[in-house]
């Protein structure tokens, strides 16, 4: 995309600016912090790969609530076999 936009001189200038901004004493701490963050991220990604996936879950039994506090369930639509919007689990009086 950039082609030859970044040459060796550009990288040296960028490193000099980073050195001026953060200072020599702070650079090791910054590098350590970045390394720890990368290690944590890598461990989390690997642990997600090792966790078994529940293939029986189809997502239709989860309950949700809207702002009015009425809970809806997808179980009724799962029994009917259609994907229509689920009905409320309790009667809601009409607004006047």
Two structure tokens written together for 20:
């001026």
pLDDT at 36: 96
What percent helix, strand, coil does the chain show, rounded to 5?
50, 5, 45
Round to whole Å and give the CA distance between 10 and 8.
5
Domain boundaries, the chain: 8-46
What are the Cα distances from residue 46, in Å, to 19, 25, 71, 95?
34, 33, 36, 51
pLDDT at 77: 47
pTM, entire model: 0.35
Partner residues linked to 71 by β-bridges: 65
The per-residue pLDDT for range 27-43, each reduced to its tens digit, is: 888 889 999 999 999 99
* Mean model confidence pLDDT for the chain: 72
Please provide residue 76's backbone torsions phi and psi, each rounded to the nearest 5 degrees. Answer: -65, -40
């Amino acid at each position: 995309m950039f082609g030859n936009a970044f040459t060796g001189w550009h990288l040296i200038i960028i490193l000099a600016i980073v050195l001026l901004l953060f200072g020599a004493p702070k650079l090791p701490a910054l590098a350590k912090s970045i390394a720890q963050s990368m290690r944590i991220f890598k461990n989390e990604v690997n642990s997600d790969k090792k966790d078994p996936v529940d293939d029986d879950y189809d997502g239709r039994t989860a309950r949700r609530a809207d702002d009015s506090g009425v809970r809806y369930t997808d179980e009724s639509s799962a029994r009917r076999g259609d994907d229509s919007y689920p009905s409320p689990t309790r009667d809601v009086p009409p607004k006047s």
